[in-house]
Structure 1
């Protein structure tokens, strides 16, 4: 009897659609900061915080009419 080990994740080929499906099923948090400065003077500061997740049909939409 031969026992085979599963291929490590780093060596597996995963389709982009499958990767997005896995990420959206659990949710993704994106955080970032961007500061534009000249001569040590902050001119523009942008802070980004985003949560990206899939939503099931059981969650009501803001655009649906209420009964």
Structure 2
């Protein structure tokens, strides 16, 4: 994946820039957490997440809502 921007060592890179670059291409986060006491596993948490940005060209999965004049679609009583 090509990375554009200032070369390393020249300029500063903020946290927002790093997050923007990661979300533009997508990032996978995976991890395991185990709470253990006396060699007995008490709690285990597995995390697998995929993060990415959605562009403006992706259509919404629902139709736009049109305002109505009353409680029913025809504007009259239900």
Please confirm whether the aligned pair reaches a TM-score higher than 0.5, indicating the same fold: yes
May I ask how many residue pairs the two structures share in their alignment?
Answer: 58
Q: Normalized per residue, which structure has more strand? A: 1
Point out which structure has higher relative CO (alpha carbons under 8 A, 6+ apart).
Answer: 1
Q: Does 1:30 align with 2:37?
A: no
Q: Does 1:39 align with 2:33?
A: no
Question: Partners of 1:40 and 1:56 in 2: how far apart?
Answer: 47
Q: After TM superposition, which residue ranges in structure 1, 4 or more long, deviate above 4 angstroms?
A: none
Q: CA RMSD in A?
A: 2.2
Question: Could you tell me how far 1:20 is from its partner in structure 2?
Answer: 1.3
* CA 59–45 in structure 1, closer or farther in 2 if over 3 Å, else same: same
Question: Partners of 2:59 and 2:48 in 1: how far apart?
Answer: 23
Question: Partners of 1:35 and 1:61 in 2: how far apart?
Answer: 39
| TM-score calculated relative to the size of structure 2 | 0.60
Q: Which has the larger radius of gyration?
A: 2
| TM-score calculated relative to the size of structure 1 | 0.68
